[in-house]
Structures are given as structure tokens and as C-alpha cells.
Amino acid sequence: MKQKKWQRWVWLAVAAVAMLGVGTLPAQAKTTNKTVTFGQLTNKNPHRLAAIRQAARQQILKQTHAKGSKVAAVCKVKLPKHMTKKATLTPKGLRMNLLDNKFKVKQITIPYSQLKGKVLNRYLPKTQRTKAIKTKKMVALTFDDGPDKTLTPRLLKTLKKYKVHATFFETGQNVSRNPKIARAVLAGGNEIGNHSWNHPDFNRIGTAKTVSQITRTNRAIYQATGTLPQFVRPPYGNITAAEGRAIEQPIIRWSVDSRDWAYLNKTKDINEVMRDTRGGDIILMHDIHAQSVAAAPTIIKRLKAKGYKLVTVSQLLNYQTLPGLQYFGAHDYRTAGK
């Protein structure tokens, strides 16, 4: 009897532990390391491979706690360009070996969260896989040329009030002047993209100077926020195919131009956006014009009244943007420069 009673207490204790999950192995601990080629990860898609290189640069900077001055150097680290090269799927992410580099890093592990929409779903944990979304009632508000020391904080208050998020394409010179505001943009759940250093027409300055504009701005944004921007929006929407390949960041254009820069009129801004906006659109505005910022509350309220959900560019495009491609809306993308 005593032995049976003892066994019963042991069984109850084991059951309690199992229910609480104490002492049990997490699901990912059962995952074994698996070697894969980049061709397998990307289905031999060069744009996906470029996205992995983009994520690798961010991870190198993070892993080494690098300062902004190292942003240019990370672009020179030799990263895989051949589909036959191999990496390892681990419980924590994609592990890659690196060739000799100035950062003296031999190996990095890119978290799967940074590869969502970039590698094929079957190589990602279920929580990081993309799923089909309906964009019929989704739009993305975007604002160019900031941050402005007065107007951008005002706009951020509006976004917070109406519980919506936007994507800000900022110039490097304004980020360097207003780093706290750049941080506030991200702190509010919004996104920051690269809009060049001082707004030149890329088509007129050539590939080398275009890359310099982007790198310099990436450095300013990284210096201010601790993260590299994923997207680039070329000033005036102009970019060549060669520049798109050299930049190795997704290009974000727009499908609705508010023309707020031309009108400088609150009412016209509102009417232009409301007349042209449909589901899946990317709306272009500017947070350096008082009239545009003043128009934002009405635009947001009217769009929401029509049943639209206002989201970031990443959300609208389902996290599937790739370097070398330019995106005009939820279902409209082309090779950069075309």
C-alpha cells in the first residue's frame, strides 16, 4: 500500500509539471541544424538572395555593436552571390559563415523574423511565414522629406490619436538635424525609409553618387535609431536599373500622388487623396508642409469611415519586398528602373 501511494504521488507530480510546462523542452529545441543552399532558400531568385544579404548587413552591425561610421564598411563585406553557397538552419535563425572582413566576424545568425517574406515559407518557423492577405480595404500613408522639427511631431500625435501607422521616407540631412524625432517616428510604431541625403535627381547624378547618397543616409538613420532602413524612395521617383541593382534595397514608389507639394492647400490635399485612393494604394504626402500635416486628420478620418485600414508599407506589401524591385502598390511591382 505504501509503495502504491508513493507511486501515485510521483505520478501526480509528473503530471503537474507537464501541465505547467516546467522542465519540458521547448519545441524549437528539438529542431536539428540543417544545411541548405541559398538556391533552396530562395528558389534561385536573385532578388531573394539580395534580401538575405541586406538582412546580413543589419545583423553584422547589430552583432558587433557598430557605430554609424561602419555603415559604409558593412556594404563592402563579401556576402553570398552564388546559389550553390550553403548556410545552416538553426533554432535561432539562419547561420552564415563569412569571409575575412574588417569587422572580424566569422559567423552570423540572422533571426528568422528578419527573413520573413524573403526566403521560402517552408524554411521558416510557422510564426514567421507569410500568409495571403486581402488588401481591398488597406492603404499605406507615406510622408517624404522630413523629419521636420515642428511638423513631424505634430503629425505623430495625429497618427497616435487615430491609432494608425505610416511610413516616413526621410532625407539624411534632416535626420542628422533631428535624430530624436527620427527615433520618435519608430517609437510610435511607424517605419522609416531612405529618401536620399539632400534630394537630388538620381537620373542626373549617376550610379556612384546615387549609392553615396543612399549610404550616407543609411548611416544617418542608423546613427539616430540603431537600425538600417529597409526601403529607399528615390526623389521624384527616378531611378535607373543599374542604380536599383547597386543599392540592394527595395524601392518604394506610390500609386496616389496627393500633389500637396504643388497645392500647399489643405482642402485640395484632402480632395486629391479621397478622389484617387483605392484599396492597396500607397499614398504620397510630405511632412514638411504645414498644409499637408493639417490635412492628415481629415484624410485619416474619411478613409477610416470608408472602411480602410491604414498600415505601414511593410504591412501593405505583406513583408515581401525585395531589393532590385520597385513597388507602386499592393499588387503592382516591377524591376527597378522600368
CA distance 156 to 138: 20
Task: Label residue 299 exposed, middle or buried (CB < 10 Å: 0-12, 13-18, 19+).
Answer: buried
Which one, of 94, 132, 97, 130, lies nearest residue 112 by Cα? 94
Q: Is residue 168 part of a domain?
A: yes
| Domain identity same for 181 and 317 | yes
Of 126, 153, 178, which residue constitutes the final position of a domain? Answer: 126
| Domain identity same for 198 and 325 | yes
Query: Is 94:106 a contact under the CB 8 Å cutoff?
Result: no
Domain count, the chain: 2
Taking each continuous run of H as one helix and of E as one strand, the counts in the chain are 14, 13
Cis peptide preceding 147, ω within 30 of 0: yes
Domain of 170: which CATH number? 3.20.20.370
Cell, residue 305: 469611415
Average pLDDT over residues 259-286: 98
| Domain identity same for 169 and 285 | yes
Q: Is residue 259 part of a domain?
A: yes
Give per-residue pLDDT as tens, 136-175.
999 999 999 999 999 999 999 999 999 999 999 999 999 9
| Domain identity same for 117 and 208 | no
Query: Is 107:247 a contact under the CB 8 Å cutoff?
Result: no
Range of the domain at 45: 29-126
Task: Centre a 10 Å sphere on the Cβ of residue 109 and count the other Cβ atoms it contains.
Answer: 16
Band (pLDDT 50/70/90 cuts) for residue 61 is very high
Q: Which of 144, 269, 281, 287 is catalytic?
A: 144
Which one, of 239, 154, 134, lies nearest residue 196 by Cα? 239
Looking at per-residue pLDDT, the higher value among 213 and 27 belongs to: 213
Q: Is residue 22 part of a domain?
A: no
Total-model pTM:
0.89
User: If you ran DSSP here, which 8-state letter would residue 33 be given?
Assistant: P
Q: Is residue 245 part of a domain?
A: yes
| Domain identity same for 196 and 47 | no
| Domain identity same for 58 and 145 | no
Determine the pLDDT at residue 17.
Answer: 35
Determine the pLDDT at residue 338.
Answer: 82
Active site residue 286: yes
| Domain identity same for 206 and 266 | yes
| Domain identity same for 174 and 313 | yes
Of 71, 104, 126, which residue constitutes the final position of a domain? Answer: 126
| Domain identity same for 104 and 212 | no
Of 126, 149, 164, which residue constitutes the final position of a domain? Answer: 126
Determine the pLDDT at residue 337.
Answer: 87
Calculate the average pLDDT of the chain: 92
Average pLDDT over residues 248-269: 98
Active site residue 65: no
| Domain identity same for 70 and 117 | yes
Q: Is residue 14 part of a domain?
A: no
Q: Is residue 11 part of a domain?
A: no
Q: How many CA atoms lie within 13 A of 250 on its CB side?
A: 27
pLDDT at 197 over 90: yes
pLDDT at 230 over 80: yes
Q: What percent of the chain has pLDDT over 70?
A: 91
Q: Which residues of 172-208 are buried (b: 16+ CB within 10 A; e: fewer)?
A: bebbbebbebbbbbbeeebbbbbbbbebbebbeeebe
Q: Which of 165, 195, 286, 289 is catalytic?
A: 286
Give per-residue pLDDT as tens, 12-31.
443 443 333 333 333 443 45
| Domain identity same for 170 and 227 | yes
Q: Is residue 7 part of a domain?
A: no
Q: What percent of the chain has pLDDT over 90?
A: 90
| Domain identity same for 178 and 96 | no
pLDDT at 3 over 90: no
Query: Is 102:60 a contact under the CB 8 Å cutoff?
Result: no
Task: Label residue 305 exposed, middle or buried (CB < 10 Å: 0-12, 13-18, 19+).
Answer: exposed
